[in-house]
Amino acid sequence: MNIIDSIKNELMLLNEKFMLEAEDRYNYWEEHIKYVVIKALDLARKYNADKEIVELAAMLHDIALVAKIGTRGEHHIKSAEIAQEVLQKYNYPQKRIEIVKQCIINHRSSKNSISIEDTCVADADILSHFENLPMLLNSIINNVWNNEHSKKISLPEIRDRIMQSFNHDYNDLSDRTREDFKDRYELICKIVLGESNI
Nearest to 158 by CA among 183, 139, 173: 139
Nearest to 171 by CA among 123, 116, 131, 114: 123
Domain total for the chain? 1
Domain with 140 in it: 3-197
What CATH code is carried by the domain that includes residue 38?
1.10.3210.10
One digit per residue, the tens of pLDDT, for the chain of length 198 reads 899 999 999 999 999 999 999 888 889 999 999 999 999 999 999 999 999 999 999 999 999 999 999 988 999 999 999 999 999 999 999 999 999 999 999 998 888 889 999 999 999 999 998 988 888 777 777 666 565 555 666 778 778 888 888 999 999 999 999 999 999 999 999 988 886 655
| Four-CA torsion 74, 82, 63, 40, nearest 10 degrees | 100
